Chains A and B, each alone.
Chain A
Amino acid sequence: MRGSAIASGALLIGAWLAAVAATPAAHPDFSGTWERYPPPGGAKADPRYAPTPIPDPPLKPEFKVKWDIDQKKLQQRIEEGQPAGDNYVHCIPDGMPAMMMGMFPMEIMQRPEQINITQEAFNQVRRIYMNQKLPKWDEVDPSFYGASVGHWEGQTLVVETTGIKDYVTFRWAPHSESMKITERMHLLAPDYLKDEVTVEDDHFAKPWTWAWTFHRMKDYKLQEYVCEDNREYVSADGSQHLKIGK
């Protein structure tokens, strides 16, 4: 009995040592600077790394009516060359999940217990705490990036996020503070990172899913971005102007 206890103890320690030894190699390293792939502006994606297009949000009928009307207004404004009315116009950052398609490169810093993602536009940072339990949405104060936890499933980083302010929207889709975003990130190739996104909320008839691809940049250092002097403004008639005077 005693001998077998020692033997199983030794086995456990052996397994633990093996696990520790295997840890660094077990997970891919996402650290580095990334830009969205393919770069916006018409470049064609290699089909092996192509992202999955973002469909319209699968809103329940009672929310879809307003969304459709707003989309029409938005389309009209874009055609008129007027601001789309999103956060950047007001010097406010994207929040989640929009920051993952922020307009500039992003940097990933990876530690076993925490992974940070910084988007150059507006110095946006999300902090992903590894191997912790996702708090319930009403246990956290709603914020732009929410509360995020992560864990590894083999080579895939699974990140869950909740607690996003209901007015921090992506593609103008209405949602509640209980919205949950699940991301599955894995490398398609050493320099191609795929982020498969699933968004669930009471406003949706079914989960809203798509995938982004990011391409690793060589030797790029993120620059500071503090939105400190927004001289553009939208007047009462909806037209945009520049403040010329001091």
Chain B
Amino acid sequence: MKLRYLLAFPLAAALTAPAVAHHSFAMFDNTRSVTLHGKVTAYQWTNPHSYLEMDVDDAKGSAKHYVMEMTSPNMLHRGGWSSRTVKPGDTVTAVMSPLRDGQLGGLLLELTLPNGTKMLPGVPNAARYKITS
């Protein structure tokens, strides 16, 4: 499997400080991660944040719907993403910091595309989010 890390170029990293100041990531549990494997139902290229939605089969075989927040389209663009990086129907693997309030969603940390390309969504201060899954 080809793993290609598309790191946001330094500008995106440089923008972490104001991003943190304007935006709270406290709603996500950064002490653990959840890995989801399933089908993309929506990839929304909007400000102030982009979203990836997925249907994931649970152990009992019933589909659960997840919503993951990403950064803004301009930051994603500078990090190598476009509005066409994924599309509904794609089978992908997502790693996210889950929402603390128990809703089915989180902050997207990594996304593996159907062709095996691993995409990093340029999360500000990404190192603070533990990947445990």
Contact = CB atoms under 8 A, between A and B. Distances in A.
A226 B47 contact: yes
A232 interface: yes
A41 B15 contact: yes
A143 to B, nearest CB: 22
A229 B73 CA distance: 12
A242 B25 contact: no
B14 A43 contact: yes
A241 B16 contact: no
Given A223-B74, A242-B69, A242-B105, A228 B25 contact: no
Q: Secondary structure at chain B's binding surface: helix, strand, loop or mixed?
A: mixed
A240 B26 contact: yes
A88 B47 CA distance: 11
B103 A242 contact: yes
A83 interface: yes
A230 B67 CA distance: 14
B46 interface: yes
Contacts of B24: 81-83, 89, 232, 240
Nearest to B124: A41
Nearest to A94: B22
B3 interface: no
A103 interface: yes
B88 to A, nearest CB: 15
Contact size range, B? 20 to 34
Contacts of B104: 244
- A interface, over-half SS: loop
Interface string A12-36: 0000000000000000000000010
Interface string A35-46: 100011101000
Which among A78, A240, A242, A244 has the highest number of chain B CB atoms within 10 Å?
Answer: A242
Contact of A89 (B17, B18, B23): B23
The range of chain A's interface size is 20 to 34
A120 to B, nearest CB: 6
B16 A41 contact: yes
Interface string B9-37: 01101111111011111110000000000
Given A89-B22, A242-B103, A39 B46 contact: no
Contact of B23 (A83, A104, A227, A228): A83
Interface of B: 10-11, 13-19, 21-27, 44, 46-49, 51, 67, 69, 72-74, 77, 99, 101, 103-105
Interface of A: 35, 39-41, 43, 78, 80-84, 86, 88-89, 91, 101, 103-105, 120, 223, 225-232, 239-242, 244
24 contacts: A35-B11, A40-B18, A84-B21, A86-B22, A103-B15, A103-B18, A103-B19, A225-B73, A226-B47, A227-B48, A229-B47, A229-B49, A230-B48, A231-B51, A231-B67, A232-B23, A240-B27, A241-B27, A241-B99, A241-B101, A242-B27, A244-B67, A244-B103, A244-B104
